[in-house]
Amino acid sequence: MATKVKKMLFILSKATIENVYAAFVMANGARMEGIDADIFFTFFGLEAVQKKKLNNLHVATVGNPAMHIPTMIGGLPGMEALATKMMKKEMEKLDMPPVDEFLEILSDSGCGLWACKLAVDMFHLEEKDLIDDLDGILTIGDFYNKADIEGTQILFI
Amino acid sequence: MIKTFGQTQVEVNDEGYLNDFSQWTQEIGTEIAKEQEIDMTDKHWEVIDYIQDKYKNEEPLSIRGIKKSGVINIKEFYNLFPGGPLKKSTMIAGIPKPKSCI
């Protein structure tokens, strides 16, 4: 393999669909290239591994100039849901899996899925609230320890 | 670039993928697999058959497609072709490397 990247560690701190998919696509892409990958879900990123929430993530319509929707309109009730529906339709056309299926693919591909202990405590979550494929709950220190080979990169999303 | 497998000469690109699928034979596939340190078994060939069918039907390959294929699950796929399963299996199958990001 020509690439010098041997391991990718992702820290996902947001729950908007575009950020979650960025992390998932990059992590899956790494595994497909034979690169190790782990994702650390922290703060709002934890929503992506909460059973009740993961299939209801939204795209941000406010404060996002690239949506080309005036901020005032983006804030109207139902706008986020509408924009999300449209985006999910486009993603389905490209054969992008929904969040739950994507997590399954990542787990089966050998990508580590880790929840941040501090965030789990802060949001008063328990293990049963989180997906069964989760590999564990870690401190940030534990996660740094996964950067154990030459060519590891850490990416904050 | 011309590459010789046993008695046969085939054209491959810089990464080692066959330029012309019609030149592919099972022997060539076995040789490419050896270079990738993969010993082909019946299960490997079953996956290669599936991949080649998709290619002949001009259907794009993706890891999600593998999951739905009914031929193999993702864990097995990674075990059979370690270090980049779709990349390696398409090379052995004699078809171009998939261009999709998923």
The full DSSP string for B20-65 is -GGG--HHHHHHHHHHTT----HHHHHHHHHHHHHHHTTPPP-HHH
SS3 content of chain A, % helix, strand, coil (to 5): 45, 15, 35
Residue of B42, B99, B101, B102 with catalytic role? B101
Chain-wide mean pLDDT for chain A? 92
Query: The dihedral of CA A54, A59, A63, A65: what is its sign?
Result: positive
Write out chain B's pLDDT in tens, 102 residues.
888 887 788 888 988 899 999 989 999 999 999 999 999 999 999 999 999 999 999 888 989 989 888 889 999 999 999 989 999 999 999 999 988 777
CA angle B20, B48, B25 (to 5 degrees): 45
Query: What's the average model confidence in pLDDT over A22-50?
Result: 96
Q: Does A96 touch chain B (CB under 8 A)?
A: yes
Beta carbons of A29 and B74 less than 8 Å apart: no
Which of B59, B67, B72, B74 would best serve as a mutation to test chain A binding (most A beta carbons within 10 A)?
Answer: B74
Per-residue pLDDT band at A32 (split at 50, 70, 90): very high
How many CA atoms lie less than 13 Å away from B45 in the CB half-sphere?
10
What does the pLDDT read at residue A72?
Answer: 80
Question: Is 90 exceeded by the pLDDT of residue A121?
Answer: yes
Question: A58-90: per-residue pLDDT in tens?
Answer: 888 887 788 787 888 888 888 888 888 888 888
| Amino acid at the residue B96 | P
A4 pLDDT band, cuts 50/70/90, is very high
Cβ–Cβ under 8 Å, residues B97 and B90 = yes
Placement of tokens 């980049």 in the chain: B84
From chain A, the residues in CB contact with B76 under 8 A are: none
Q: What are phi and psi of A3, to 5 degrees?
A: -65, 145
Tell me what pLDDT residue A79 has. 84
Q: What is the pLDDT at residue A93?
A: 85
In this structure, which amino acid lies at residue B64?
Answer: R
- Furthest-apart CA pair in chain B: how many Å? 38
pLDDT score for A62? 81
Strands B2-5 and B8-11: antiparallel
* Closest CA relative to residue A106, chosen from A131, A133, A80, A81: A133
Does residue B101 carry a catalytic annotation? yes
Find chain A residues with C-beta within 8 A of B87's C-beta. 32-34
Residue ranges covered by each domain of chain B: 2-93
**Contact A156/A11 with Cβ under 8 angstroms?**
yes
The whole-model pTM stands at 0.90
pLDDT surpassing 90 at residue A56: no
What is the helix (H) or strand (E) element at residue A149, kind and residue range? none
Q: Per mean pLDDT, which range of A32-36, A98-102, A150-154, B59-63 is the poorest?
A: B59-63
| A34-54 as b/e: b if 16+ CB within 10 A | bbbbbbbbbbbbbbbbbeeeb
State residue A98's pLDDT score: 92
pLDDT above 70: residue A1: no
Measured between beta carbons, the chain B residues lying within 8 angstroms of A105 are 63-64, 67, 74
Residue A30 φ then ψ, to 5°: -65, -50
Is B67 in a helix, a strand, or coil?
A: helix
